[in-house]
Structure 1
């Protein structure tokens, strides 16, 4: 860009600005293409009738340059007419970026736009040069020391340009060696284990842990500092860090100089500030004892425990700060926790967003934090957990913003992301255990957004043909009592299940009521009526089964009462990744039934998060059953069996369980 101010030195009417002052009779603007005359006059401080001199003209020119629209400005005088001759900066009509992968194109374009380079913007070469340096700096921070940025500016007609940014990202320099200098009390490898960055190793191709970046190194130094502070080295300091590069810019060498200092112990723990709860109660939350080695981790944990306890009492914005007073002479620390509870806060309103299909009522009835009551951190989190356990949502987030204009009111805002809670399945397949499989099912755990569960299924395999219908209202009453109904029918050929040669036809229905004991426990009671028709095959049959048929017959009507207890801490109702669940159930036919027996089953599962999307699960199933009254033993078709996929692997389906010792032909 250039700035030209021509002073009129010639006296014979030459068309240039005169050093002597003159009164502006008119103003003429030449050279405009894209910028409006109104924008020019709005920024130009001289008006018709003003008396101007060279100083005022210079200031006026600077004002026009400040708009950022012009590449050249020339002021001339034609008599008493002031002529403004302008050359506009070109406009960017196209912006192309090639060669980038580590930084996405949209991210780069957004950064360029914020800096003033985008399609439709005025082109300034100084801005482009500054951005070239900034992009190179960004790549250097990622360890790409050989990255290069080249730009091409192509002039187009009508004062336009197109920009092309060619990016050569190069390669990320690999860490060849990490050295720690000054340590005395720990093994070097123990310290290096605190680093996420590592020298190139066998797994670096997968973990990319040998790729240097400034941000990762900063995080590693903070982890190293935490390691020492958690072990009493309160005066620890990473005094310097040197990062050097090989001549070919492909290897990085890192050296960290540390000063460990001495180990400090806690000689006294104080509680200060406004202790709204009993001091004895608060001291139970302090997990650091006098005489113990100082640990910043324990200090932070204590702060969180006290703040959370105050939050449960409605002091949502309580502040707890642990301040160490260091005595370097005897290497001790006097620790004081300053408590500022602030005002007790109350919940003005509970809001829900993201529930496009699910009714507000379904979410609101899971709330244990009430509107109008004081805000309890525990109840707010418990409400969040209850929403997650519904299984309707992929994620649940909660925020507690203050109400504008009030210092003791908050809103509790739950945002949910819905996920499909129903399914329509049509299946056809083949299994080594079941043979040909045909089936269809429709299930909806959140029917019409009401939270009610409905399902129907029809399945046919070589062994089983079944039809099931069920309906459950989890909030039959407002206090959480559930009610469910079910109808079922099945035909089973047990010879196809690797069992004995007999068939059964079973049909019936059940009603179930559930009662919440607590937020995590529930009791259920059921009554079921069913009829079972049995038919023995003409071929061989187990002696035990034949004896049962001869004693009890082949047609059984059963009325079964059931009860169950369940307990869960699962973090989600669908695809959980953490927590546990267990249940204990008892079912027994009522006295006087054609068959009198009972069964007790226990199920448990535990999820252990490992990392990322990986979770380890343990599960178990235990069962016991027997006959009572006139029935000597558990009916053979109610025996517990295992084996096959989803049960005990390595065994064929239903191959684990009671087996007949001998067989003989059935006389018909």
Structure 2
């Protein structure tokens, strides 16, 4: 042992570093310090060339090569006589790698990143490589929105210079995009730009109320969509400049600033169009295409014109036509040249139309939809349209269409339809319902969508309890003569036994019918007109002044056949309705307008004679400048027109019902109330009869012949909160104003004695309320919480006020 120590000291003392000045011929090579690789691998490297030239540069290059393998931490070369002594210190060998805390990056992705930096089991550990690995790992997490990540490396030393590496990841919280600033947008607002990116459509809103988790790839898509938006609108010089991202102090919020250069919008200066036969509406298509001349380039407009031209060719039976639009951009003069090319091929005609599978549906019903006959041009759009209309009837499960060329013909097509009928066209439902005035009712519903194979719908509704019976029968049938029109008929019958009579139940519409012609929604519009008859029974055990006024409107001979406290009124009427609705909705988000105009005209040969007009407006407007708060405007106005002594019957008065509007007042709690009248006969001191009139004001609201109702709501963007209980939630504030009055009150000259009881004829008696509400979509249905505060008038009874409500509709 002592000899070995002496030899080592002697060797170190006499050994020399390899240099150009001190090197002799080397005959032997010894390796010291290796642990996990074979010494022969190093010997092969140094013995790959002969050492008889005694060049130290050759040895230095070998040492550099060994360092480049990233296996060795230190390498020393020295010479003792004719022996080259190589002393090395290896990097530790990675025996095992364990990863902890990675929730948003999979182990597979982790291993790929480790492999990229040569950090694998059985590889040597290199601190520099690990620093690079951590740098790219942080970048990878930041691209996913995790900007507060912490990485720790724990090295456990094992025998034979081996390591067990434990990578500890603390991902932290996910950062959110609080705001996106766009600088340089002069022609489009920030909201307009963000609305046209795909990310905006996924979650609807980028604003203060709904932060979005940052994702690098989604952000790159946003920039791509932003670039395409400007290019598609003719801004061919558009460029995206510097993009800066700012983190808040707590690193939770990300603020992004995008600098853009819009440039100039290019105009279409010239249009080139190939000619084709005049029989294909050349002039019409020429006019459509040249409508783009001198207009600003817009890809959506060009695509719309292209689709319009192609549909025009399809109407001519040109099934396989090709339509191309090509543009050349002149950036020097800021203009666009548009080229239109059409490749018109064979024109096709219909030879035969057939169908099968309609076992329970009559052919006449199907023929009303299929209007194309033999020798007509083959227009695929018309076929798609009538198949869609057939499917919308609900009578078919699937509809398949096959088009084949006629054998022996080049341009004749046979069309065959295969119908798969919907067997479930009948529905029967028995339930119970509760109505305020009728109490508990048994409800029977019967629906047949295909009556006797004609495609007509039959709907029967029966409400029944011990005192009331209500029967309604509806029939809806498509009209064969008028395209897209339907015939609807309704017959109703009411029978009831009243234990008491008040202003709200002193009448009963016993029976009646009406027949209407209506259209479905065509370009957001619908129209209908009806003719009908109804018979109404008037009961007046206790007179109120609206009833008295109504009785005075009849001629004296009217009551020759009836008792004044129980008589019947027969009315024939015409109703008309116009409906426009372009509202689009998604969850709670709505946008558009709904206008409805209704009228009811009683014909002159009826007992009554009046004309009721009702107008309703429902509008949703997004306020882009206020972070997409929705403004909801609702207005309804109703009035009536009469001639001579005729008045609108009290049972046709307008009454207040909230429907889906928020208000601080209950239903039917606004407007004139019933004032009862009774004469008592008393004997005076002379034993003579003396009539005394008594008036009894009540809280029974009977409505009026004019109504004005306005409501405005501010709807805040949707908030996804408490996901376990609510799918989405929306809040808002509202202001509601409603007034109902009777314009005929001034004509009641005999009512001077109760003129201070109630003010019927004053339109200034507005009922005003404000409040807030929350809509929530839960797993058991929609819930609405409303808190309202009536503002005016001040002396409103508590039973008329609705300060807090909870609605599950």
TM-score normalised by L of structure 1:
0.55
Instruction: Provide the C-alpha distance between the structure 2 equivalents of 1:420 and 1:177, rounded to a whole number of angstroms.
Output: 52
1:283 aligns with 2:287: yes
Change (3 A) 1:496 1:568: same
Conserved 8 A contact 1:389-1:571: no
Change (3 A) 1:663 1:537: closer
Equivalent of 1:489, from 494, 498, 502?
Answer: 494
Report the alpha carbon displacement of residue 456 of structure 1 after superposing the two structures with TM: 1.9
Aligned residue in 2 for 1:223: 226
Report the alpha carbon displacement of residue 467 of structure 1 after superposing the two structures with TM: 0.8
1:665 aligns with 2:679: yes
Equivalent of 2:309, from 306, 311, 315?
Answer: 306
1:24-423 paired onto structure 2 within 5 Å: 174-175=176-177, 193=194, 207=210, 209-215=212-218, 217-230=220-233, 232-237=234-239, 262-272=264-274, 274=276, 276-280=280-284, 282-284=286-288, 286-290=290-294, 292-315=295-318, 318-344=321-347, 364=366, 367=369, 370=372, 373-376=376-379, 379=382, 383=386, 386=389, 392=394
Report the alpha carbon displacement of residue 304 of structure 1 after superposing the two structures with TM: 3.1
Q: Deviations over 1:370-407 (max 9, x none)?
A: 365435476457547756875x59x9999988759988
Instruction: Provide the C-alpha distance between the structure 1 equivalents of 2:285 and 2:223, rounded to a whole number of angstroms.
Output: 37
Instruction: Provide the C-alpha distance between the structure 1 equivalents of 2:210 and 2:643, rounded to a whole number of angstroms.
Output: 59
Q: Greater shift after overlay, 372-381 or 316-325?
A: 372-381
Conserved 8 A contact 1:471-1:484: yes
Question: SS at 2:229's partner residue?
Answer: helix
1:553-568 paired onto structure 2 within 5 Å: 553=559, 554=564, 555-567=566-578
Aligned residue in 2 for 1:626: 642
Instruction: Provide the C-alpha distance between the structure 2 equivalents of 1:617 and 1:359, rounded to a whole number of angstroms.
Output: 45
1:504 aligns with 2:507: yes
Report the alpha carbon displacement of residue 279 of structure 1 after superposing the two structures with TM: 2.8
Report the alpha carbon displacement of residue 324 of structure 1 after superposing the two structures with TM: 1.9
Conserved 8 A contact 2:535-2:570: yes
Aligned residue in 2 for 1:152: none
Report the alpha carbon displacement of residue 486 of structure 1 after superposing the two structures with TM: 0.9
Conserved 8 A contact 1:175-1:212: no
Q: Deviations over 1:310-355 (max 9, x none)?
A: 44444456543332222233232222232345444567769899x9
Conserved 8 A contact 2:508-2:538: yes
Conserved 8 A contact 1:627-1:633: yes
Instruction: Provide the C-alpha distance between the structure 1 equivalents of 2:211 and 2:440, rounded to a whole number of angstroms.
Output: 46
Conserved 8 A contact 2:488-2:518: no
Instruction: Provide the C-alpha distance between the structure 1 equivalents of 2:206 and 2:271, rounded to a whole number of angstroms.
Output: 46
Q: Deviations over 1:398-434 (max 9, x none)?
A: 9988759988857889999999995736334475xx4
Instruction: Provide the C-alpha distance between the structure 2 equivalents of 1:138 and 1:445, rounded to a whole number of angstroms.
Output: 61
Change (3 A) 1:514 1:326: closer
Question: SS at 1:537's partner residue?
Answer: coil
1:422-461 paired onto structure 2 within 5 Å: 424=429, 426-429=431-434, 431=436, 434=437, 436-444=439-447, 446=449, 450-458=455-463
Conserved 8 A contact 1:444-1:454: yes
Conserved 8 A contact 2:544-2:676: no
Q: Deviations over 1:510-553 (max 9, x none)?
A: 25263779977666453425252523228998642564689443
Conserved 8 A contact 2:176-2:211: no
Could you tell me which runs of 5 or more consecutive residues in structure 2 were left unpaired when the two chains were aligned: 1-100, 107-138, 150-168, 682-690, 692-809
Instruction: Provide the C-alpha distance between the structure 1 equivalents of 2:214 and 2:635, rounded to a whole number of angstroms.
Output: 40
Change (3 A) 1:175 1:570: closer
Aligned residue in 1 for 2:517: 514
Report the alpha carbon displacement of residue 255 of structure 1 after superposing the two structures with TM: 8.1
1:537 aligns with 2:542: yes
Report the alpha carbon displacement of residue 452 of structure 1 after superposing the two structures with TM: 1.2
Aligned residue in 2 for 1:643: 656
Question: SS at 1:457's partner residue?
Answer: strand
Question: SS at 1:226's partner residue?
Answer: helix
Instruction: Provide the C-alpha distance between the structure 2 equivalents of 1:526 and 1:324, rounded to a whole number of angstroms.
Output: 58
Conserved 8 A contact 2:179-2:255: yes
Conserved 8 A contact 2:267-2:296: yes
Instruction: Provide the C-alpha distance between the structure 2 equivalents of 1:298 and 1:587, rounded to a whole number of angstroms.
Output: 45
Report the alpha carbon displacement of residue 223 of structure 1 after superposing the two structures with TM: 2.9
Report the alpha carbon displacement of residue 644 of structure 1 after superposing the two structures with TM: 2.7
Instruction: Provide the C-alpha distance between the structure 1 equivalents of 2:573 and 2:346, rounded to a whole number of angstroms.
Output: 51
Q: Greater shift after overlay, 378-387 or 219-228?
A: 378-387
Conserved 8 A contact 1:269-1:334: yes
Q: Deviations over 1:203-252 (max 9, x none)?
A: 7797453421524532442233322541x322435599899999x99888
Question: SS at 2:473's partner residue?
Answer: strand
Instruction: Provide the C-alpha distance between the structure 2 equivalents of 1:317 and 1:639, rounded to a whole number of angstroms.
Output: 60
Conserved 8 A contact 1:194-1:224: no
Conserved 8 A contact 1:315-1:342: yes
Instruction: Provide the C-alpha distance between the structure 1 equivalents of 2:434 and 2:339, rounded to a whole number of angstroms.
Output: 68
Conserved 8 A contact 1:441-1:458: yes
Q: Deviations over 1:78-106 (max 9, x none)?
A: xxxxxxxxxxxxxxxxxxxxx99999xxx
Aligned residue in 2 for 1:74: none
Change (3 A) 1:321 1:453: same
Instruction: Provide the C-alpha distance between the structure 1 equivalents of 2:654 and 2:382, rounded to a whole number of angstroms.
Output: 43
Change (3 A) 1:656 1:192: closer
Report the alpha carbon displacement of residue 365 of structure 1 after superposing the two structures with TM: 5.8
Conserved 8 A contact 1:358-1:446: no
Instruction: Provide the C-alpha distance between the structure 1 equivalents of 2:593 and 2:635, rounded to a whole number of angstroms.
Output: 12
Equivalent of 2:609, from 597, 600, 608?
Answer: 597
Question: SS at 1:536's partner residue?
Answer: coil
Conserved 8 A contact 2:348-2:412: yes
Conserved 8 A contact 1:482-1:514: yes
Aligned residue in 2 for 1:474: 477
Change (3 A) 1:339 1:484: same
Conserved 8 A contact 1:643-1:656: yes
Change (3 A) 1:263 1:587: closer
Change (3 A) 1:380 1:494: farther
Report the alpha carbon displacement of residue 472 of structure 1 after superposing the two structures with TM: 1.0
Could you tell me which runs of 5 or more consecutive residues in structure 1 were left unpaired when the two chains were aligned: 1-98, 109-136, 148-166
Conserved 8 A contact 2:276-2:282: no
Report the alpha carbon displacement of residue 277 of structure 1 after superposing the two structures with TM: 1.7
Structure having the higher Rg = 2
